[in-house]
Amino acid sequence: MFSGLRGPAMTFTYLIPDGLDVVPGHLVRVGLGDRATRGVVVAVDVPAPEASLRAVDGLVHPLPLLSAHQLALARWIASYYRCGLADAVRAMLPPALAARARGATLESARSERTEAIFAITPDGRRAIDEPVRLGARQLATLRALAAGAVTAAELGQSGGSGESAKSLAARGLATVGRHAVRRIPTELSLHEDDVVRDLPLTRSQAPALESIVGSLGSGGAFLLHGVTASGKTEVYLRAAAAALARGLGVIVLVPEIALTVQVVGRFLARFGDRVAVLHSALSAGERYDEWRRVVDGVCDVVVGSRSALFAPVARPGLIVVDEEQEPSYKQESAPRYHAVDAARALGRIAGATVVLGSATPRVATHHAATAGELTLLRLGERIADLPLPPTTVVDLRLELSAGNRSTLSRALRSALVRTVERGEQAILYLNRRGLATVILCRDCGYVVPCPSCEIPFALHADGRLVCHRCGKWRRDAPSACPQCASARIRQLGVGTQRVEQDVRQLLPRAKIARLDRDAVARKGAHAVAYERMRSGDSQVIVGTQMIAKGFDLPGVSLVGVVNADTLLNLPDPSAAERTFQLLTQVLGRSGRGDVGGRGILQTYLPDHHAVRAAAAHDYETFAARELLDRRRFGNPPFGRLVLLQTGARREATVEARAARLAAELETAAGDDAEVLGPAPAFAAKRAGNYRVQLVLRGPRPTAVLDRVRIGSEWSVDVDPVSLLG
Ligand code: ADP
Ligand code: ZN
Ligand code: ZN
């Protein structure tokens, strides 16, 4: 039985001709209809459905491309997330495979970029002692070569050069060759402090590492719960070294490479060429090449986003998921798997140790650890006992009644001024980009909407109106209301660009950087903004959650949250949790150096438990309160969710369709789940489609799906991370 590399989410059955040794995981050539295609064998010895089967034409590659544990994981995904096995198998293979398997063979990784390398000859050594016919640069080059320099860069460090090495080679004093260089993007090739790997572990790191290492080979699941800068990454690195020493492969998942450059860079620095990096910013060809290195066994450490879990590591022994709380671990198209749950499934299948790391684990993960499903490892304090930043909560309602209409409260303004005066740095965080979130008529209430999505257009500093859902934009904001012609059409709501303007006004001489999705549209902008802060060139950075991750800036002594509540009022079961996580993460950027640090949280909801617990750095209190709320409503982990969504051009069509399915589900549900909805999806209109959703919530919602036929016009999301799609 095999599944195609492209095409429908189906499997097909073929005959294996005598003499052809085919096992599951092999890539084979077959005829399908009147064309030749390729597919992956998912099972052999299956009962033949009919007599006249076509035969497999041949193997594309002598070795199986998917190992037994990968196929088992594909089966688990297909059954748990209710998708086709072919969808799950395809997710495990690089998208370029179909193209690279065009002939009867599979291309190997493309020849890599090469650079010139040099070595000294015996004549060259003699020439050092009688340097009559050598220039100063040539002599320096020869000396560097004699001391072991190889590349032009190394020669340059001791006054030599690649050019003079070439001229020496022409005279027989040196030899030239070429060697392959890995295409590691410059922003990833960070320098690591070599001493760290030899430093003694802290008193909480040591037992955590010991438990993880002790489980290698036999499997186990851990939650490494450690505040920011408590040394989690160092634990991953040393556990990885221990796994490699036992001949086991390592998979490390990070939420989004661009935002976690530091973690990836440290793996590259420590394990060098053994590391394959797999992430979405790679071209299809580059992904294929990295994948191929893992297939060939050249790389046995894989670092990457979500789908790196499917890398063909031969004997996975350690699987790390850093920042396990990140919603980006959920894939939002079929197969809609969650990488944390899939990692735990792979751990069980392959006998690998799974480590979930976080400063703010999801309360469901925390609950699983207290229930004994995961072993809890705590890193309670920051390295060098740096204190967490004392944080003040500012009530924005009082600012308004005191007549302050700026985005910055009086407390935040004076803290900013003092911080910059002292030569320190500040981070200002806001979860919305643009200048204003709405253009609203003060007379008739008209809001300028995106024509496709019917949500308000946001105003940007360049004067454009931009839809933050579909990206559509138009050039100019109207100067009069299109509905009532009033001139009192104003901007409302605050975005990062507005905050940037307010800071510029407050601190005209400071250099201010901004980092949000508009800013990173330029390639490498994230790294540039980080570098400008790191070098002290900028004093203040304003940004969205992009600044909440990976920014390790010792000069930052102030973090200001411009509005802590932007997510809190959203109708989603994890709104409070996401708020707590983001606030904790962003506050954790303060006080990472010797200058100490503080935080200021501006909010209209100063009594909300997520805001209070984040300001107090009190995870336990937050989790206890949050779990209480979850239990009351039967939300995860006390019940499971399935989200069903559908869309159509006409509103009446979706409404009728949803009412029909809701009725069927109600009849079938019994005690397994309750049916919530139908209700308009949060994105009630997208790209011209009206969208409606149904939610199943209860102890066994997927059992209900078994009893009702759900058409392909519905998307089925098991364990959704959000109901706001
Ligand atoms: P986290 O991943 O929890 O944010 P890191 O592993 O990045 O923490 O550690 C924070 C900082 O402390 C890093 O600069 C790291 O190099 C350093 N560090 C980690 N472990 C130790 C140790 N045992 N001794 C000294 N420094 C350490
Ligand atoms: Zn109007
Ligand atoms: Zn839109």
Distance CA 694, CA 710 (A): 12
Asked if residue 472 and residue 404 are part of one domain, the reply reads: no
328 C-alpha to ligand 1 centroid (Å) = 25
Give residues whose Cβ lies within 5 Å of ion ligand 2. Answer: 441, 443-444, 446, 481, 483-484, 486
DSSP characters over 185-207 = -GGG-PPP-GGGGGSPPPTTHHH
Atom of ligand 1 nearest to the CA of 199: 24
Q: What is the pLDDT of residue 74?
A: 94
Closest CA to 10 of 39, 34, 36: 39
Asked if residue 460 and residue 405 are part of one domain, the reply reads: no
Asked if residue 604 and residue 517 are part of one domain, the reply reads: yes
Tens digits of residue pLDDT in 547-556: 776 677 888 8
- Residue 536: give the domain boundaries: 391-432+494-629
For residue 328, how many other CB atoms are within 10 A of its CB? 16
Give the mutation target among 191, 194, 195, 196 for probing the ligand 1 site: most ligand atoms within 8 A of CB: 196
Asked if residue 515 and residue 417 are part of one domain, the reply reads: yes
Distance CA 625, CA 222 (A): 23
Q: What is the pLDDT of residue 250?
A: 98
603 C-alpha to ligand 3 centroid (Å) = 28
Closest CA to 226 of 343, 371, 360, 366: 360
Asked if residue 427 and residue 334 are part of one domain, the reply reads: no
Cα-Cα-Cα-Cα dihedral of 62, 66, 69, 70, to 10°?
180
Give the mutation target among 198, 383, 388 for probing the ligand 1 site: most ligand atoms within 8 A of CB: 383
360 C-alpha to ligand 1 centroid (Å) = 17
**Residue 725 located in a structural domain:** no
Q: Which of 43, 69, 100 is the last residue of a domain?
A: 100
Q: What is the pLDDT of residue 172?
A: 83
Mark the ranges of the chain whose per-residue pLDDT is less than 70. Answer: 1-9, 48-51, 98-114, 178-197, 257-260, 383-386, 520-524, 549-550
- Total tally of structural domains belonging to the chain: 6
Distance CA 725, CA 437 (A): 19
**Residue 447 located in a structural domain:** yes
Q: What is the pLDDT of residue 399?
A: 86
Distance CA 243, CA 219 (A): 12
Closest CA to 326 of 639, 549, 596: 549
Q: Which of 458, 491, 524 is the last residue of a domain?
A: 491
487 C-alpha to ligand 2 centroid (Å) = 8
Which run of H or of E encompasses 308?
Answer: none
Give long-range contacts, CB 8 A cutoff, 24+ apart: 619-625: 619/225, 619/360, 619/366, 619/584, 622/363, 622/580, 623/363, 623/366, 623/367
**Residue 563 located in a structural domain:** yes
Q: What is the pLDDT of residue 569?
A: 74
Q: Supply the angle between the helices 339-350 and 68-80 in degrees, to the nearest 10.
A: 140
CB distance 393 to 606 below 8 Å = yes
CATH assignment of the domain containing 704: 3.30.70.600
Asked if residue 451 and residue 409 are part of one domain, the reply reads: no
Q: Order across the sheet with 458-459: list the strands.
A: 458-459, 465-466, 473-474
Distance CA 576, CA 625 (A): 11
Distance CA 151, CA 189 (A): 17
Q: What is the pLDDT of residue 489?
A: 81
Asked if residue 377 and residue 232 are part of one domain, the reply reads: yes
pTM of the model: 0.82
316 C-alpha to ligand 3 centroid (Å) = 43
Distance CA 464, CA 468 (A): 12
Distance CA 476, CA 459 (A): 9
Q: What is the pLDDT of residue 113?
A: 57
Burial class (CB in 10 A: 0-12, 13-18, 19+), 564: buried
688 C-alpha to ligand 3 centroid (Å) = 9
CA-nearest residue for atom 19, ligand 1, is 231
270 C-alpha to ligand 1 centroid (Å) = 14
449 C-alpha to ligand 3 centroid (Å) = 8
Tokens 């501006």 correspond to 602
Asked if residue 568 and residue 523 are part of one domain, the reply reads: yes
Asked if residue 611 and residue 653 are part of one domain, the reply reads: no
User: Ligand 1 pocket: which residues have CB below 6 Å?
Assistant: 196, 199, 201-202, 205, 226, 228-234, 383
Q: What is the pLDDT of residue 671?
A: 92
CB distance 562 to 408 below 8 Å = yes
CATH assignment of the domain containing 295: 3.40.50.300
Asked if residue 589 and residue 485 are part of one domain, the reply reads: no
**Residue 453 located in a structural domain:** yes
CATH assignment of the domain containing 17: 3.40.1440.60
Q: Which of 491, 525, 559 is the last residue of a domain?
A: 491
Atom of ligand 1 nearest to the CA of 201: 23
CB distance 128 to 143 below 8 Å = yes
Q: What is the pLDDT of residue 10?
A: 72
CA-nearest residue for atom 4, ligand 1, is 229
Three-state SS string over 572-612 comes to CCCHHHHHHHHHHHHHCCCCCCCCCCEEEEEECCCCCHHHH
CA-nearest residue for atom 10, ligand 1, is 229
691 C-alpha to ligand 3 centroid (Å) = 14
**Single-letter amino acid code for the residue at 395:** D
CA-nearest residue for atom 21, ligand 1, is 231
What's the token pair of residue 236? 């991953």
**Single-letter amino acid code for the residue at 604:** Y
Q: What is the pLDDT of residue 103?
A: 56
**Residue 271 located in a structural domain:** yes
Q: What is the pLDDT of residue 9?
A: 61
Asked if residue 279 and residue 243 are part of one domain, the reply reads: yes
Asked if residue 324 and residue 252 are part of one domain, the reply reads: yes
**Residue 724 located in a structural domain:** no
User: Which 8-state DSSP code applies to residue 23?
Assistant: -
Q: What is the pLDDT of residue 395?
A: 92
**Residue 723 located in a structural domain:** no
Distance CA 606, CA 536 (A): 33
**Residue 512 located in a structural domain:** yes
**SS3 category, 153:** helix
Give the mutation target among 201, 234, 323, 378 for probing the ligand 1 site: most ligand atoms within 8 A of CB: 234
587 C-alpha to ligand 1 centroid (Å) = 18
Q: What is the pLDDT of residue 646?
A: 94
CA-nearest residue for atom 6, ligand 1, is 231
Atom of ligand 1 nearest to the CA of 383: 12
Ligand nearest to the CA of 197: 1
Ligand nearest to the CA of 225: 1
Ligand nearest to the CA of 592: 1
